[in-house]
Amino acid sequence: MQTLHTLVIVIQILSALTIIGLVLLQHGKGADMGASFGSGASGSLFGATGSSNFLSKATGVAAAIFFAATLGLAVFSTGARKPSGGVMEGVTVVQPAANAAAASTPAAASGATATSAPASSAGQAGQIPK
């Protein structure tokens, strides 16, 4: 599976470079104006009229390959993950210091139990206080 993923990445990079090269080889619409006065045929690779059809079709094929490779990479990336319950699934809640002060009140001394987080989870990085 890793080999196929690498192959799709290589195909995507090669098709992107092909698109860049083909777009740079094409002449713009303004170049046709110069070709009508006799100066356009010398500067183009395939002649004054032959380059637009070949290069346009080749660019379209390279773009289709690029989009197919991008779609394949999207399928590979979503297939590798397992579904999760949510973004806050693994977060533990740390009780604020105000609850610790409330535990030292006379009600706590008379035997009432106060709820607090375990001491091992207080102060760990990446936890969000409630």
Q: List Cα–Cα distances, 69 to 10, 54, 60, in angstroms.
A: 9, 23, 14
What is the reported pLDDT for 100? Answer: 59
Cα torsion 91, 92, 96, 102 to 10°: value is 150
What is the reported pLDDT for 2? Answer: 87
Residues 57 and 21: beta-carbon distance below 8 Å: no
Alpha carbon distance 23, 26 (integer Å) = 5
What is the reported pLDDT for 51? Answer: 47
| pTM reported for the whole predicted model | 0.48
Report pLDDT digits (tens) over 81-117: 665 667 777 778 887 776 556 656 655 555 555 555 5
Q: Which of the residues in the chain have pLDDT under 70?
A: 29-52, 79-85, 98-126, 129-130
- Helix (H), strand (E) at residue 94: strand 93-94
For residue 118, what are its two tokens? 């375990």
Residue whose entry in the numeric block shows the structure tokens 């989009």: 67
